[in-house]
Amino acid sequence: MVTEKFTKEWQEAGIQQKDESIVLLTGHRKSGTTMFLNLFDGHRALCCYPVDLSVLYAYFPRFICEHHTEDELRTRLDTIVCDLLKHKMSKCGVKNVDVRTFRADFFAHLGSKNIRDPKQVIQAMTTAWRSLVEQNNRPWLVVKETSADIYAAELIKWFPKMRIIQLVRDPRDNYAALKAGVEKYYSKFGEGYRETLASLLHRALIDMRMALVNKKRFGADRYLVLRFEDVARSTENSMRSVASFLGIEFDPCLLKPTVYGRSIPGNNFEGELMYSVITKNVDRWRERITPAEAQIIEFYFSGIMEEFGYQAEYSPTQQADAQAEFYKWMNYRYFYSDSFSTASKA
């Protein structure tokens, strides 16, 4: 049961629990957020939305800033919200979730005037899901979105009772997990190994910095930061901390990842069927990435890695030399323009 502290807080604020009591799980991609979300699934005080919100990057802000009709915006939302949910339910073998009803309720709650409002879109999604699975009485609605820590200030403004839990991961292991999916998945979107590494250097570094800033800004009672390694190695201790943070009773079901009550394999690119939290890929970056890749990562993450207990293995000179080589490619790939040729034509 939710502690009296939080129940009283909600009542005194006059806030409807289903509208405001959201737990946001976030972290850089392949930092364990899907596994983490699935640990929340079976608890009687938690209602889990089973897929990424997606709207914070696939709909807002760029898509709505372009010139689209209301019908086009609805089609986009139908694709990234309803079709994504349908795909996940099918993949997990869940047959008793009527996505058609969810779709109808989602757009009914949203209406036409709110289609460009991020708070209203998210609220329509969560309200429709609670109604569909008949879990309106569960105090917390749990949602997931990678790198949403960047938008923490906006999200907490929209949902004042929101709690945020962010996972961080050793960036070398994080890149190893991403690298394993380049050929099978990320290459379909134009990412090679170097593009994936460049993405990690930019976005995962932002995530780590935001973890430190947000925890201080919003306080330990609103913002919890956990290391993926600790969740994997000491799952019970980590989930007891989570239960305390949310004011709910610890239940052993928090140790078993499920989706809508079904046990499913983990989200990994190696094709291994893992139905529980495992430590296989914790601190395995030495086997999975090259020394040069590790040196580049250590160069960029120097200082902040240590804030989370991740120790560099290479000297600053080795890091700098590897980064110099990588910079030659990255500068040409993302920043270089032939000003000489342009000048000659002027």
pLDDT at 1: 38
For residue 77, count other CB atoms closer than 10 A to its CB.
24
pLDDT, average across residues 44-48? 95
Residue 143 β-bridge partners:
24
pTM: 0.89
Q: Which of 10-24, 34-48, 97-111 has the lowest mean pLDDT?
A: 10-24
Burial letters for 312-341: b for 16+ Cβ neighbours within 10 Å, e otherwise?
bebeeebbebbbeebeeebeeeeeeeeeee
pLDDT at 273: 45
Q: Which of 7-11, 103-107, 264-268 has the lowest mean pLDDT?
A: 7-11
Where does the chain have alpha helices with state H? Answer: 4-13, 17-20, 33-39, 55-58, 62-65, 70-77, 84-91, 99-110, 118-133, 152-158, 171-179, 193-218, 228-233, 235-246, 285-288, 291-301, 304-307, 316-330, 339-345
- Is 274 exposed, middle or buried (CB count within 10 Å of its CB: 0-12, 13-18, 19+)? middle
Contacts 24+ apart (CB under 8 A), 72-75: 73/115, 73/116, 74/107, 74/115
pLDDT at 270: 54
Q: Give the H/E segment covering residue 164.
A: strand 163-168
Q: Is 309 helix (H, G, I), strand (E, B) or coil?
A: coil
pLDDT, one tens digit per residue, over 47-99 is: 999 999 999 999 998 777 778 888 999 999 999 999 999 999 998 888 888 99
pLDDT at 55: 94
pLDDT, one tens digit per residue, over 242-294 is: 999 999 999 999 999 999 888 876 565 455 545 578 888 899 999 999 999 99
Q: Specify whether the CB–CB gap between 164 and 26 falls below 8 A.
A: yes
- Is 76 exposed, middle or buried (CB count within 10 Å of its CB: 0-12, 13-18, 19+)? middle
Mean pLDDT of the chain: 89
pLDDT, one tens digit per residue, over 153-193 is: 999 999 999 999 999 999 999 999 999 999 888 888 889 99
pLDDT at 271: 55
What's the half-sphere exposure (Cβ side, CA atoms, 13 Å) at 16? 5
Q: Specify whether the CB–CB gap between 227 and 169 falls below 8 A.
A: yes
